[in-house]
Structure 1
Amino acid sequence: MSKKRKSYEKSFLIFIIAIIIITLAYFGSPLSKVKDITVKGVNDLGAQQVINATDISDNSLLVGVFFRQNSISDATRKKLPSVKSISFRTKNMRDLTINVKEYATLGLIYKNGYYYRIIDNGRILTNKLKSYTGNYPIYTNFNKKRELEKITKIYKKMPESVKNNVSEIHNASTKVNPYRIKIDMNDGNKIVADVRTVDKKMKYYPSIASQMKKKGVINLEIGAYSYPFDNKK
């Protein structure tokens, strides 16, 4: 073996050893661990709630987070069903940003003293809420899953200005009209409608309400007309 070949092999060995030493030193130092965690994109969830679900802490290896990001994402979505997707980004090789996309909340149901969120993928979350924040409608008397799914889809398609005004949606079916619903609005008006046509008619609500001199009832079952609460109609 030539001296040149031996010199090359010796240099290569020294290089490999140096890489191993540097790697071990890095993983044994604080530089390899997550320093600060920032959560972006949360709406109904809390930032700390997301961090806890990922099991990432300032003791976690940053490189380990990225190697395991798919499994961390899957585990987080199982713990927090309202999470649609989750991804990770690093800054300064130590700070971690968790980007979250949530399923939109389409309202809540009230049962046995607790509120339960209904999210955009049709699920009713099992988390019990004594109270809630956000401008979401409360659904009552929709005892069948199919009925609840239908009315939440209708609500989702309403114009934003109308959605923000909806307070409660009640199943008010009768023998005469099994499709009847009642809607309480935040502005004080009440709506009587048919679930089969309400999605097309609710867009007219702002115009009808603006012409009312007093708060009252807007009937959208057949046609569209309104009358004040003190009217015996």
Structure 2
Amino acid sequence: MEEKKVVSIEDRIPKLKQERKKKTNRRLIFYVSLFFILISIVAYLQSPLSRVQHITVTGNEYVTNEAIIAFSELSEEDNFWGIKMSQRAAKVGEHPEIKEVQVTRELPNTIVIKVEELDKVAYVKKEDGYYPLLENGEILESVDVSSLSSDAPILNNFTNNTYIIEIAKELYALPHAVSSLISEISWQPSDANPYKVWLFMNDGYEVESTIRNFATYLKSYPSIVSQLAKDQTGVIRIGDGGAIFDPYEKANKEEDNETAG
């Protein structure tokens, strides 16, 4: 039989001591490394490197960067990692012209505020200029548009705020493909219909309609026009009774008769 080799305690002690020493050294290195990491984090958090260096605003057209940043209450004195994103987004969302807000971090030290403004649905014509009208019926009095673009219709003779709010909501509900065809909308109230409006279209037609259910009525406009002869122009009357087309000759005669009467 093979004899078992017996290792004496004296032989084992040096190996045990060596293993314990290695474990102790590893533990020491771990704690020292952890200590320096914590010291580095504390030093970083206390240094200017941990503060916000840049605040970027995107998505805004009418509301200024300065106004949005002011609502966010952000500054370059804020700690980059201590900012509560949802809280700052909620503050910007309190601005009456802002619909959606997202606040994010962008390394190394930039805060990005991405906003979505309320949609512009028209320009309100006043004595001193043209002012954008938002989807909620608010007129941006602080923005005087000196050079108009064709991205939204012009509202003429709208002097009552109630009707301005209603037409704004209707225009927002109207598909852009249809609202882009409208050049001007004039409010022409009558005793029979205080909601009456007269539209001048970009394709040469005129439309008589009403503010109530405006979006529902005007959705049918492209279909109505597609059924008319290309060289035929006139007034399209759209309302509860459907749509009626009056060529300009007939429309002019009716106006003359009304004047004579």
**What interval of TM-score do these two structures reach, taking the shorter chain for normalisation?**
0.7 to 0.9
Q: Could you report, residue by residue, the CA deviation over 1:61-95 in whole angstroms, capped at 9, with x for unpaired residues?
A: 3224x23752x4455345x4211232211233423
Change (3 A) 1:114 1:57: farther
DSSP-derived class of the 1:209 partner: helix
Q: Quick check: 1:105–1:118 contact (8 Å CA) kept in 2?
A: yes
Change (3 A) 1:116 1:231: closer
DSSP-derived class of the 1:224 partner: strand
Per the TM alignment, residue 48 of structure 1 is displaced from its structure 2 partner at its CA by: 6.8
Q: What is the TM-score normalised by the length of structure 1?
A: 0.72
DSSP-derived class of the 1:61 partner: coil
The reply to whether residue 199 of structure 1 matches residue 215 of structure 2 is yes
DSSP-derived class of the 1:125 partner: coil
The reply to whether residue 232 of structure 1 matches residue 252 of structure 2 is yes
Residue of structure 2 equivalent to 1:123? 138
Task: Tell which structure's C-alpha radius of gyration is larger.
Answer: 2
Q: Quick check: 1:198–1:220 contact (8 Å CA) kept in 2?
A: no
Q: Quick check: 1:218–1:225 contact (8 Å CA) kept in 2?
A: yes
Q: Percent identity among equivalent residues?
A: 26
Q: Quick check: 2:199–2:206 contact (8 Å CA) kept in 1?
A: yes
- Say how many residue pairs are matched: 220
The reply to whether residue 173 of structure 1 matches residue 203 of structure 2 is no
Q: 1:183 aligns with which of 196, 199, 204?
A: 199
Q: 1:108 aligns with which of 123, 143, 151?
A: 123
Q: Distance in 1 between matches of 2:34 and 2:196?
A: 78
Q: Could you report, residue by residue, the CA deviation over 1:108-147 in whole angstroms, capped at 9, with x for unpaired residues?
A: 3222313333223333333131335561222233322222
| RMSD of aligned Cα (Å) | 3.6
Q: Could you report, residue by residue, the CA deviation over 1:12-58 in whole angstroms, capped at 9, with x for unpaired residues?
A: 89967963x42442135453133454444435546676456546566
Q: Distance in 2 between matches of 1:229 and 1:73?
A: 58
Change (3 A) 1:48 1:165: farther
Q: Distance in 1 between matches of 2:129 and 2:80?
A: 39
DSSP-derived class of the 1:219 partner: strand
